[in-house]
Amino acid sequence: MMDDGAYWDAFPTTLTTGDVAKILSVGKPAVLTRLKSGVIPGHLIVGSWIIFKAEVRAWLESTSNQAPPGPPEPVDVLADYAEEMSYRDLMELFGKTKQTIYTWLHSGEIPAFHAGNRWIIHKPQLRRKLAETSNQKTQHDQ
């Protein structure tokens, strides 16, 4: 079932804890516990869990008894975005409202440049932020 594209297509790019609970057939408290412990991949940004479908799918596929042992292959959730991103791109990527994205930009939680009346987010800086906020730590991070 986990390799069925139609199954995964039913879920948004950015998952809620409810989506993950449905996928794993567990309750939301179990999802939150597993996010906090790093079992389920996610990014904690300003107290909000950002959970990317591609990362969850890769993680689940790596836990299959048919998969080669080891960590899942890295997933680049920014691959389809331009080098310079807008607040609209962040709304789509994070599944958050314009107000939330603007709050994060104004507070500096998301690295960006404010040019006139426009926010510009450079993909390499956002990629670093996602690495910093990830609950998945590599050996040298520990």
- Crossing angle of helices 53-62 and 17-24, in 10° steps, is 30
Give 11-51 pLDDT, tens digit per residue. 999 999 999 999 999 999 999 999 999 999 999 999 999 99
In total, the chain counts a number of residues equal to 142
The DSSP output letter for 106 is H
Please tell me what DSSP assigns to residue 121: E
Residue ranges, the chain, pLDDT below 50: 1-2, 139-142
H or E, element range at 37 = helix 28-37
Structure tokens at 24: 């794993």
Beta bridge partners of 50: 43
Q: Is 120 helix (H, G, I), strand (E, B) or coil?
A: strand
- Are the CB atoms for 53 and 8 separated by under 8 Å? yes
pLDDT value at position 62? 82
**Is the four-CA dihedral 118, 123, 126, 128 of positive or negative sign?**
negative
pLDDT of residue 69: 65
